[in-house]
Amino acid sequence: MPPAPPIRGRFAPTPSGPLHFGSLVAALASYLDVRARNGEWLLRIDDLDQNREVTGAREAILEDLAALGFHWDGPVYAQHDRGQRYREAVDELLAKRLAFPCACTRKDIQEQSDPGEPVAIYPGTCRNGLPSGKEARSIRLHVPDQVIGFEDEWVGPTHQDMAREVGDFVIWRVEGIASYHLATVLDDADAGITRIVRGADLLDSTPRQILLQRLLGLPTPAYAHFPVVHAEDGRKLGKQTDAPRIDTSQPAKILSMALAFLHQSPPVTLASAPVEDVWQWAFRNWAPQAIKSPLP
C-alpha cells in the first residue's frame, strides 16, 4: 500500500433515488474542494438502509456522474458489507460503558420527555440497565454533558450542547443495522477521508459524528457545509421531495447551474461550451470563499 495522500474527499450518495440537482451540487463542491488541492476523490454508495434502495439507482448515479465528467479514485465502495466493522465498534463502546442497550419505543420516549422541548430528548430510562422484562430494541450512545464545537470552513464556528440538544442517540438497531452517524464515521476514518464537504442539512449531525470519532479514537476531518438546495416551494430538494433526475444531455448547462448555485459566477457562455471547458474554468476559478454566505 502506498502512503495515504494528505488530502482526500468523498461523495456518498444514497441509492434511494437518482442524482438530483442537490446531490450534484454536493458532488461538485466536494470534487472541486479536493481537486483544487490535488487531492483524491472517492465515491461511496451509502446503502446502509437496503429497504430504501431503488433498483437501478446506484447504476444511474454512476452513469450520470461519468456523463458529466467526474472522475473518481479507486473502486466505488458500499456500506452493506461493512456490518461486521460497525458491530465491532458498537461492542467496543458497550465494553467501555460508553453505550447501552435500550428497550424504549419512540412513544415511550415521547411520553417520558419534557413536553416543552421541540424534540423529544431521550430521558435516560435504560442508562443503568434495561427495565425488567424488557428487551433491547437499540443501542444508544451514553452522551456526555458536553458542548461539542468545531470550526466549519464555510459556516464558521458551530456548537451543540450534546446533552440538551441531542441526548443519548441510537447507534445500532437490533435488526442489525448501524446508525447513519456510526457508519459514516467509520467509513470516513477507514477510507482516510480528510475533508468532508456536504450540505448544511447535515450540519447538526456533525457534532454527533465528532463525538463518535473522539470516543472511538478516530481523527476528525475538516468540515465545510454549503447552503442547501431548495425546491421552488421552499422544501429541501432531495429524495423526500421526489427531486427529478438531472438531465445530462447538456452537461455544460447543468454544471454551470451547479457552479452558479455555489456562487462561482460562471460566465453565461460557459453553459453552451464544451464540457471540458467548464471543468477547466471551474478548477481555475474555484473560489470557496464565495460560498461563505448566510444559511438559508
Residue nearer to Zn ion on the CB measure, 18 or 124:
124
**Shortest distance (Å) from residue 146 CB to Zn ion:** 21
Nearest-approach distance from CB 139 to Zn ion, in angstroms: 10
CB of 175 to Zn ion, least distance (A): 17
- Nearest to residue 34, comparing CAs of 72, 82, 84, 75? 72
Shortest distance, position 140 Cβ to Zn ion, whole Å: 7
Q: Which is nearer to Zn ion, 103 or 271 (CB)?
A: 103
Stretch 43-72 residues interacting with Zn ion (CB under 5 A): none
Cβ distance to Zn ion smaller for residue 102 or 178: 102
Give the nearest distance from C-beta 124 to Zn ion in angstroms: 8
Helix axes 21-35, 251-261, angle to 10 degrees: 80
Residue 17 CB, nearest approach to Zn ion (Å): 33
Strands 170-173 and 156-161 turn out to be: unpaired
Contact call for residue 143 and Zn ion (CB under 5 A): no
Number of residues that bind Zn ion (CB under 5 A): 4
10 Å CB burial of residue 213 (0-12, 13-18, 19+) is: middle
Nearer to Zn ion, 125 or 264 (CB): 125
Residues numbered 78 to 137 that lie near Zn ion (CB under 5 A) are 102, 104, 125-126
Of 60 and 136, CB closest to Zn ion: 136
- Integer Cα distance of 225 and 199 in angstroms: 5
Q: In the complex, which residues of this chain contact Zn ion (CB under 5 A)?
A: 102, 104, 125-126
